Chains A and B, each alone.
Chain A
Amino acid sequence: MISVDPRSAVPPFEQLRVQLLEQVESGELPAGARLPTVRRLAEDLGIAPNTVARTYRELEATGAIETRGRHGSFVTTGGDAAEQQGQRAAREFAERIRQLKLPADDALAWAAAALKG
C-alpha cells in the first residue's frame, strides 16, 4: 500500500518515489510486477498525472522499474540474486548521494575507485 499526504511538507513526488522504491527493494513489489498506469495512480492518490509520470521516469532512471511500451511499467526483473543485491546496493548508494546533494560525477568516480581498490 502506498499513501500520499497532501498536507505533508514532503512533495507528493518524493513521497511516491520513496515508497515505491522501498517496496521494490523490500520485495513487496516483486520483480515483474506491473505498476498501475500513470493516470490510474494519479486518480487514486489525487495528484497530477505529471507527478506520477515524473516518479516513474525517476525510478526507471535508477533501474528500479522499466517501461515496456504500451504494456505499462514493471518492476525490473533482475538476473540472479547476487546481481539483484548489487543493483539494490547501487540504488541505495545513489539515493544516499542524492540526499547528501553531492555531484553525481564525483559519486561515480568514488564508486569506481572503491571497486578498483
Chain B
Amino acid sequence: MNNTAWIVAALIAAFGIARAFGTYQPAQREGRAAAFARAVALVLPDALRPVVTERVALRNRGAALGLVAGIATTALVLATNDANSAQFASPFLLIGGAFAGVAVGVALAAARASAPLDPQAVKYARPSAVTLDDYVAPLERAGARIVVALAVITVGAAIATGAAVSGVLIGLVVLGVAALIVFEVAGRRIVGRGQPAESPRHLAWDDAVRASVLRDMVTAPIILGADAVVVAGGALVDHLLGGSDLAQIAIVVVCVLAAAGLAIASITSNPQRYFLRRLWPAGAAA
C-alpha cells in the first residue's frame, strides 16, 4: 500500500472517529435526527424526538465505528500483503473494507437498539407480515446479487485464463459474497424483530431507521462486488491484451459508468423513502 493510500485511510478513519464522537454531542444528535427526518420525509413530533434521536445516533455511531474498524482492518491486511500484487487493488479494497465495516457496524447497532415502552400504553402493530422487499428497493437488492455474481464470474474467468490474480482480489470477492450473505441473513433477522410502538407514527419511524440500516447493509456487497469486477476485469484485460493501458482504462471507465448509472437510477428512485411508498402508501398516520 503506497503512502497516498495510507493518508486516505488515516483521513477516513479520523472522519469516522469524529462522527462517532459527534453522536454523543446533543447539538449534533439533534441535527442528524432532523436531517434524517427531512431525508425520509417524516414529521418528528416532540413526543418521539428523544427515542428517534437516540435510534439515529446509535445507527450513526455504529456506522462510524464500523467505518473505522473496516478501514483499520483493511489497511492492516494490505500492509501485511505482497505490496506489488496489491498495488492496483489497494484503493478498491480500502473502499470495500470501509463499506463492509459500515454494514457490520449498523447491523450490530440495530441488534442493540431497544426502547422499553409503557406496559399500560396502547400498542400498535401492522396486521400483515413484512419482508426485506418492503424496506430495500428491488433495484438495490437485485443489484447487489447481480454485481456479486459478476464479480465471481470475472474473477473465475481471470483465474481460468491464467491472469494474475492477487490474494487481495480473492479477498474482495470473498468479502463481497460474505457481505451479500450477511445482508440476506442478518437483514431477515432485523426485519423479523418485533416493532413495539405506541402510535402509528412511532411504527413509521421504526420502519425508517430499519430501512436505512438495511440500505447501508446492501450497499456493502454492491461496492465490494463492483470493486472486484473492476480489479479482476483489469487483470483479465491486462492478461488477454498484453498489458494495454488503453484497454485497462477502458474497462475502468465502463465499470465506473455502470456504477454511476446504477447510482443515478437508485438516487432518482428516492430509495430512502421507498419504505414509505411500500408500507405507508396512504402516509404515516399521526
Contact = CB atoms under 8 A, between A and B. Distances in A.
Interface of A: 1-7, 19-20, 23, 28-29, 33-37, 40-41, 43-47, 72
Interface centre among B125, B129, B194 (most CB of A within 10 A): B125
A29 B129 contact: no
Nearest to B191: A40
For the residues of B in contact with A, the DSSP-based class is loop
Interface in B94-120: 117, 119-120
Given A3-B124, A5-B122, A44 B194 contact: yes
B119 to A, nearest CB: 7
A30 to B, nearest CB: 9
B124 A19 contact: no
Contacts of B196: 43-46
Contacts of B122: 3-6
Given A6-B122, A35-B128, A46-B117, 7 more contacts: A4-B123, A7-B120, A36-B127, A36-B128, A40-B192, A43-B194, A44-B123
Contacts of A4: 122-123, 125
Contacts of B127: 1-2, 19-20, 23, 28-29, 35-36
Interface residues of B, number: 21
15 contacts: A1-B124, A6-B119, A34-B128, A36-B126, A43-B194, A43-B196, A44-B124, A44-B126, A44-B195, A44-B197, A45-B196, A46-B117, A46-B119, A46-B196, A72-B129
Contacts of A2: 124-127
Interface string B201-241: 00100000000000000000000000000000000000000
Interface of B: 117, 119-130, 192, 194-197, 200, 203, 285
A27 to B, nearest CB: 13
Interface centre among B126, B130, B195, B285 (most CB of A within 10 A): B126
Contacts of A33: 128
Contacts of A45: 123, 125, 196
A45 B119 CA distance: 10
State the 3 A-B residue pairs at the shortest beta-carbon distance, nearest first.
A43-B194, A44-B125, A34-B129
A108 to B, nearest CB: 30
A36 B119 contact: no
A87 to B, nearest CB: 19
A46 B117 CA distance: 9
Contact of A1 (B120, B129, B194, B200): B200
Nearest to A42: B194
Nearest to A52: B125
Nearest to A72: B129
B132 to A, nearest CB: 14
B125 A3 contact: yes
A4 B127 CA distance: 12
